[in-house]
């Protein structure tokens, strides 16, 4: 995940990003799981570069990972790269087996 300079670091503002085409694999069945990932953050000195974020999220496509682990890993990598003042990442996973899962992780 790459970053760019936040030219307005003296002010707090919120950035909202929606990635409606997130895909990963169920580690139990190897079947695809589809989700929308929503990232809301208050930047510090850096902003996430969107093309690199897209490539990062697309890298989960062939990865066997549970929903909770996926969203927590995304948050960990996002915080490490961007160092936001605050962040909330939500994964809204499509219905599978009659169950709809939403995972929300907050920082700090």
Q: What is the pTM of this model?
A: 0.96
User: Is 24 noted as a catalytic residue in this protein?
Assistant: no
Query: 79-101 b/e with 16+ CB inside 10 Å = b?
Result: bebbebeebbbbbbbeeeeeeeb
User: Is 26 noted as a catalytic residue in this protein?
Assistant: yes
- Burial class for 12, CB neighbours closer than 10 Å (0-12, 13-18, 19+): exposed
* Residue ranges covered by each domain of the chain: 3-107
The tens place of each residue's pLDDT in the chain, 108 residues long, gives 999 999 999 999 999 999 999 999 999 999 999 999 999 999 999 999 999 999 999 999 999 999 999 999 999 999 999 999 999 999 999 998 899 999 999 999
**Which CATH architecture does the domain made up of 3-107 adopt?**
2-Layer Sandwich (3.30)
Token pair of 3 as six digits: 């970053």
Which one from 12, 24, 33, 62 is the annotated catalytic residue?
33
């Amino acid at each position: 995940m790459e970053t760019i300079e936040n030219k307005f670091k003296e002010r707090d503002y919120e950035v909202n990003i929606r990635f409606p085409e997130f895909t990963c694999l169920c580690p139990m069945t190897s079947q695809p799981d589809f989700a929308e990932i929503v990232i809301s953050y208050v930047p510090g000195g850096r902003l996430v570069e969107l093309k690199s974020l897209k490539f990062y999220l697309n890298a989960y496509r062939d990865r066997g990972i549970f929903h909770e682990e996926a969203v927590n890993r995304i948050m960990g990598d996002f915080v490490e790269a961007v160092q936001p003042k605050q962040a909330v990442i939500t994964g809204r996973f499509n219905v599978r087996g009659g169950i709809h899962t939403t995972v929300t992780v907050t920082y700090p």
